[in-house]
């Protein structure tokens, strides 16, 4: 059956820009899926989605005018129920056939399948394939029902009586199969071949689409519209780079902003604007945010990443003289920048410390009290953490005291995204220690993936104290994350704690006595910062497991489920986990690893089933078989080396030392009966296995590597 391309376009009023990309993708994919399910298109058909401020569309290749006929087999009933002793149809069978639109004449054509009591009657027929008009109508309804519409609008149709619901009013529908219009209707509108181009710059309006294949080209040439979201986005990115290059500057990278601007224009034209250099006295984060959030501009940075007084405008029009467009945008941005400067100047008239008492009037959570109460808890945790890291306790306490004070500033009130960042600027203005100011500025950097070393120990102290107060407090009042909901970002908070432990582990790698911080102790101390009886449940154990689970999930893609399970079985200190995983990965490459892992699993099962007391050190005088003597001797030689490497933090060497145990372990299990009749002999052999088990599993539970 011949095929042709299919085009569908909904011409609408301006769509919500932040939702446009998802709307376009969802509409096209749902439409294609429905067509494929009806046999009108292949499941692997090439689908192109179109999404601009005023249109949603889809282009599907190789769509059939009618789906192929399908054989249909309907199971009716057992032969014993459907036919009487004379082979005539029973009333039950006639009723079932009538429900299918058949009469008694169809009985002779029924198929039998099975034998004896299981013999069953079937009716075989051929269902005609659905026509494209009918199938597309169904596909459109299915696609529109699945759209991720942020907020539905109810509007009136042209008849003045009927109302329909959609994301925005639809004013036209195009549906073409090849060059032919497909007779479907959407939201009270019949499909045709005409649509509207650019509001001001289209060469022809309306645009009459000749065929499905010519849509994108006609819209670009006649309608002055780049209908494809992806193509328009790429064109904007190209123009941004081209406009910045002659200035030796770089536009701020922001994928979300690029998506939003792509959703605001149909024919992008990038222009360069500028503002007075005096505004650069304001922290660049404020200026960048106000230009991006309020005006959708792309600020320009120099080679050092410093903001300049130039910015890029993505216009929807391309006049011969763009000076009026540029001038208008420059006039609009000045009041925004002036507001930012005013907020910055006003905020610096009061110190952060003078704002701290006001936090008592800011609600943190109705069960956990005010921000002022929270600050006191974070201070108590920060002082404790600082002591264990040999950090400056006074500076840690100072950073925790001032950390939330910028919540009461005008700048953060206008731009909540600048929390912490502005606190750092204001702390420096107040003359606070640079480490305190930096810690305040760093506090909301939750993941910090790009960080690979500790530059400011006070920052890590504040990060840990702040995250743990949130984790323990929110968890303790019952607001745990669920499968799809985590409103307090506890998963990200846990990852931040993990990151801090990793950084601290690297920092103290050469000084094992320097890192006195353990997760168990940290959680227990955090609990003491809350009023007695406020938190309910086994918070300490649950939070610990939650943090370890997050770390395991984070590391599984890199190291594999078996290695992660082996290391996490022992719940080692957080800062040692990555190093242990690398050691396990290296051990797994050894030729002896599979045999030792299997033996370790066998040892664990034997010890688990032991019905006698198992000691810690076997008595060599009780050994009978040469193989158990050999294993004991091998352990006496290898265990000290493995233990010494473990104590030195060289987990790879510790595990690799175990490779020499393969031969004596294999020989032991080949020749020695552990569960001997002699109770003393049995107990001694179990004790020997217990020694082996301890030696083999210090770094990780190697039995988890067994197939």
Instruction: Look at residue 276 and give its three-state secondary structure.
Output: coil
Amino acid 557: pLDDT: 94
Region 557-565: what's the mean pLDDT?
Answer: 94
Amino acid 82: pLDDT: 82
* % of the chain residues with pLDDT over 70: 98
**Displacement of CA 214 from its chain's centroid (Å):** 38
Of the candidate CATH numbers 1.10.10, 1.10.238, 1.10.730, 1.10.510, the domain formed by 576-705 belongs to 1.10.730
Domain positions in the chain are 3-67+131-221, 71-127, 229-347, 353-559, 576-705
Amino acid 616: pLDDT: 83
Amino acid 475: pLDDT: 96
Predicted confidence band of residue 387 (pLDDT cuts 50, 70, 90): very high
Nearest residue to 229 via CA among 54, 49, 60: 49
Cα distance between residue 476 and residue 470, in whole Å: 10
Which residues are registered as beta bridge partners of 250? 301
pLDDT greater than 80 at residue 146:
yes
Q: Where are the alpha helices (DSSP H) in 147-228?
A: 215-221
CATH code, residues 3-67+131-221: 3.30.70
Amino acid 31: pLDDT: 96
Q: What does the block give as tokens for 43?
A: 């499941």
Predicted confidence band of residue 447 (pLDDT cuts 50, 70, 90): low
Region 482-491: what's the mean pLDDT?
Answer: 90
With tokens 């004070």, the residue in question is: 405
590: phi then psi, degrees, rounded to nearest 5: -70, 145
Q: What DSSP character marks residue 396? A: H
Amino acid 166: pLDDT: 94
Q: What is the mean pLDDT of the chain?
A: 92
Interacting residues of 134 by C-beta distance below 8 A, sequence separation 6+? none
Predicted confidence band of residue 288 (pLDDT cuts 50, 70, 90): very high
pLDDT greater than 60 at residue 448:
no
Report cis status (omega within 30 of 0) of the bond before 490. no
pLDDT digits (tens, 9 = 90+) for 39-84: 999 989 999 999 999 999 999 999 999 988 888 888 888 888 888 8
Amino acid 68: pLDDT: 86
Cα distance between residue 614 and residue 391, in whole Å: 45
Region 629-651: what's the mean pLDDT?
Answer: 91
Region 402-422: what's the mean pLDDT?
Answer: 96
222: phi then psi, degrees, rounded to nearest 5: -90, -40
Predicted confidence band of residue 584 (pLDDT cuts 50, 70, 90): very high
Give me Rg for the CA atoms of the chain: 36
* % of the chain residues with pLDDT over 90: 73
Amino acid 88: pLDDT: 87
pLDDT greater than 90 at residue 608:
no
Predicted confidence band of residue 477 (pLDDT cuts 50, 70, 90): very high
- The answer to whether residues 583 and 609 touch, using CB atoms and an 8 Å cutoff, is no
Q: What does the block give as tokens for 115?
A: 């034998």
Interacting residues of 639 by C-beta distance below 8 A, sequence separation 6+? 691, 695
Cα distance between residue 543 and residue 390, in whole Å: 25
Cα distance between residue 539 and residue 527, in whole Å: 8
Predicted confidence band of residue 436 (pLDDT cuts 50, 70, 90): very high
pLDDT digits (tens, 9 = 90+) for 203-249: 989 999 999 999 999 999 999 999 999 999 999 999 999 999 999 99
Amino acid 49: pLDDT: 96
Region 516-526: what's the mean pLDDT?
Answer: 93
Helix, strand, coil shares, percent, the chain, to 5: 55, 15, 30
pLDDT greater than 80 at residue 115:
yes
**Global pTM?**
0.81
CATH code, residues 353-559: 1.10.3210
Cα distance between residue 470 and residue 488, in whole Å: 8
| Burial status of residue 99 (CB atoms within 10 A of its CB: 0-12, 13-18, 19 or more) | exposed
Cα distance between residue 565 and residue 603, in whole Å: 18
Amino acid 138: pLDDT: 95
Q: Which residue has the higher pLDDT, 1 or 681?
A: 681
Predicted confidence band of residue 511 (pLDDT cuts 50, 70, 90): low
Predicted confidence band of residue 514 (pLDDT cuts 50, 70, 90): low
- The answer to whether residues 415 and 286 touch, using CB atoms and an 8 Å cutoff, is yes
Amino acid 449: pLDDT: 57
Amino acid 99: pLDDT: 86
Q: What angle do CA 286, 288, 291 make, to 5 degrees?
A: 105
pLDDT digits (tens, 9 = 90+) for 331-376: 999 999 999 999 999 999 999 999 999 999 999 999 999 999 999 9
Reported for 98-101, long-range contacts at CB under 8 A and 24+ positions apart, including other chains, are 100/74
């Amino acid at each position: 059956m011949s095929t042709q391309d299919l085009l569908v376009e909904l011409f609408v009023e301006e769509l919500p820009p932040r939702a446009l990309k998802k709307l376009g993708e969802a509409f096209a994919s749902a439409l294609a899926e429905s067509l494929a399910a009806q046999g009108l298109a292949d499941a692997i058909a090439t689908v192109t989605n179109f999404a601009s401020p005023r249109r949603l569309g889809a282009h599907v290749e190789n769509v059939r005018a009618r789906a192929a006929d399908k054989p249909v087999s309907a199971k009716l009933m057992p032969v014993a129920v459907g036919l009487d002793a004379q082979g005539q149809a029973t009333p039950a069978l006639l009723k079932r056939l009538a429900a299918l639109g058949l009469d008694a004449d169809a009985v002779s054509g029924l198929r039998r399948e099975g034998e004896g009591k299981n013999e069953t009657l079937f009716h075989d027929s051929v269902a005609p394939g659905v026509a494209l008009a009918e199938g597309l109508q169904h596909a459109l309804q299915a696609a529109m029902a699945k759209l991720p519409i942020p907020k539905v609008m109810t509007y009136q149709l042209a008849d003045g009586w009927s109302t329909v619901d959609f994301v925005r009013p639809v004013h036209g529908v195009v549906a073409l199969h090849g060059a032919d219009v497909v007779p479907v209707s959407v939201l009270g509108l019949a499909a045709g071949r005409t649509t509207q181009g650019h509001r001001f710059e289209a060469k022809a309006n309306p645009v009459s689409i000749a065929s499905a294949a010519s849509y994108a080209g006609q819209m670009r040439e006649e309608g002055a519209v780049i209908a494809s979201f992806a193509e328009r986005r790429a064109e904007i990115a190209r123009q941004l780079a081209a406009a910045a290059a002659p200035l030796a500057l770089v536009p701020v990278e922001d994928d979300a902003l690029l998506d939003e601007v792509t959703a605001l224009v149909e024919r992008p034209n990038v222009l360069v604007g500028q503002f007075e250099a005096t505004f650069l006295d304001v922290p660049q984060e404020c200026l960048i945010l106000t230009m991006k959030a309020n005006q959708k501009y792309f600020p320009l940075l120099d080679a050092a990443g410093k903001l300049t007084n130039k910015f890029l405008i993505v216009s929807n029009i391309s006049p011969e003289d763009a000076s009026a467009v540029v001038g208008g945008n420059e006039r609009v941005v000045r009041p925004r920048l002036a507001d930012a400067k005013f907020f910055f100047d006003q905020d610096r008239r009061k110190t952060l410390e003078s704002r701290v008492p006001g936090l008592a009037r800011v609600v943190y959570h109705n069960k956990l009290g005010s921000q002022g109460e929270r600050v006191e808890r974070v201070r108590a945790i920060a002082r404790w953490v600082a002591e264990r890291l040999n950090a400056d306790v006074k500076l840690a306490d100072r950073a925790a005291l001032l950390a939330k004070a910028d919540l009461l500033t005008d700048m953060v009130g206008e731009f909540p995204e600048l929390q912490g960042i502005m606190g750092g600027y204001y702390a420096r203005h107040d003359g606070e220690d640079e480490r305190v100011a930096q810690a305040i500025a760093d506090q909301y950097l939750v993941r910090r993936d790009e960080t690979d070393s500790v530059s400011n120990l006070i920052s890590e102290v504040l990060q840990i104290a702040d995250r743990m107060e949130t984790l323990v407090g929110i968890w303790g009042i019952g607001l745990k994350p669920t499968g799809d909901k985590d409103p307090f970002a506890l998963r990200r908070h846990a990852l931040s704690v993990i990151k801090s432990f990793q950084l601290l582990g690297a920092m103290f790698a050469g000084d094992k006595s320097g890192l006195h911080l353990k997760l168990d102790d940290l959680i227990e101390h955090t609990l003491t910062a809350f009023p007695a009886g406020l938190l309910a449940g086994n918070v300490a154990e649950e939070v610990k497991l939650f943090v370890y689970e997050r770390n395991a999930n984070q590391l599984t893609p890199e190291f594999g489920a078996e290695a992660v399970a082996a290391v996490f079985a022992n719940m080692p200190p957080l800062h040692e986990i990555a190093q242990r995983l690398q050691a396990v990965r290296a051990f797994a490459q050894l030729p002896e690893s599979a045999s030792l892992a299997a033996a370790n699993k066998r040892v664990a099962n034997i010890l688990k089933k032991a019905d006698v007391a198992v000691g810690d050190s076997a008595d060599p005088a009780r050994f009978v078989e040469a193989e158990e003597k050999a294993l004991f001797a091998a352990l006496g030689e290898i265990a000290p080396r493995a233990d010494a490497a473990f104590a030195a933090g060289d987990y790879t060497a510790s595990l690799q030392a175990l490779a020499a145990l393969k031969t004596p372990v294999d020989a032991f299990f080949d020749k020695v009966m552990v569960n001997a009749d002699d109770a003393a002999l049995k107990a001694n052999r179990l004790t020997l296995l217990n020694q082996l088990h301890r030696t083999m599993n210090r770094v990780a539970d190697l039995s988890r590597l067994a197939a």
